[in-house]
Amino acid sequence: MAQNASMEEFEALLEESFEIDTPQEGSVVKGKVLAIEAGQAIIDVGYKMEGRVDLKEFANPGETPNISVGDEVEVFLDRVENATVSVKEHDGDVIFLHEVRRGVADRSYGVQVAKLAGLPASVVARARVVLDALEKGDREGHRAQKTLIDDLPLFAALAPPPAPKPPRESVVEKRLSAILPDALTPREALELIYELKSLSQEQADKAG
């Protein structure tokens, strides 16, 4: 039951992320004051966005600003800049560096984050399929993107991956399994080394 709930919550969050319209410069939005420092109010305006506003903007000339952490205010977006966390990839996994830089991410890392969060492997695999289709599909406008999402349900049934084939025992391994080391004389041990080397070379030649 708990696993199904987490899947439904993840699906809802993913679909919600595609429905968010990021506010543009020149718009007025509501936000919450997170902190006040260095004569500025740091305000969370949602959409993974934070802004800084001089405290003097919240009072008439000569008056003391009456604003506190937690207050809800309306702010004018004078300038919007993107920022992203630097990322490195290694063997399909990601490492988030402690470095924030200007600009946008070169791609979506939501699938890797879901894997780090411990979501079921089947959900992560399906998310990869959906993301690949989105990156390769037609993204002309919000409507087209939403239609594509509807055609790619996140939790559609996936065919189970084929079971890995058991590794075949090599000729060298078979020969080694039949050896009793304590029963070998020094000469037999030396001859065995040459024999194993020859078998290993033959196996490498066949593989090549």
pTM of the model: 0.38
Query: What is the C-alpha to C-alpha distance for residues 73 and 154, in angstroms, rounded to an integer?
Result: 37
Q: How many domains does the chain have?
A: 3
Residues 131 and 33 in one domain: no
pLDDT of residue 79: 79
CATH number of 60's domain: 2.40.50.140
Residue 5 has pLDDT above 50, yes or no: no
100 and 7 part of one domain: yes
Do 17 and 90 have their domain in common?
Answer: yes
Residues 105 and 17 in one domain: yes
Residue 1 is predicted with a pLDDT of 42
User: Can you give the pLDDT at residue 105?
Assistant: 72
Identify the CA nearest to 145 among candidates 159, 158, 156, 131: 131
In a domain, 38, yes or no: yes
Residues 145, 87 share a domain: yes
Domain of residue 134: give its range. 2-22+83-150
Phi and psi based region of residue 151 (left: phi greater than 0; alpha: psi -120 to 50; beta: remaining) = alpha
Show the tokens assigned to 81.
């800049």
Looking up tokens 């919450």, which residue turns up?
A: 32
Distance CA 69, CA 57 (A): 16
One domain for residues 92 and 135: yes
Q: Is residue 94 domain-shared with residue 139, that is, in the same domain?
A: yes
pLDDT at 208 (0 to 100): 61
Q: Are residues 16 and 43 in the same domain?
A: no
**pLDDT tens figures, 35-64:** 888 888 888 887 677 788 888 888 888 888
Which whole number is the average pLDDT over 4-16? 59
Residue 58 domain-assigned (yes or no): yes
| 96 and 146 both lie in a single domain | yes
Regarding whether 87 and 143 lie in a shared domain, the answer is: yes
Tell me, yes or no, whether 48 lies in a domain: yes
**Is 94 found in the same domain as 66?**
no
Residue 127 lies inside a defined structural domain of this protein: yes
Q: Which residue has the higher pLDDT, 8 or 33?
A: 33
Q: By CB neighbour count within 10 A (0-12 exposed, 13-18 middle, 19+ buried), where does 165 fall?
A: exposed
**Residue where one domain finishes, among candidates 57, 76, 95:** 76
Looking at the structure, do residues 13 and 44 belong to the same domain, yes or no? Answer: no
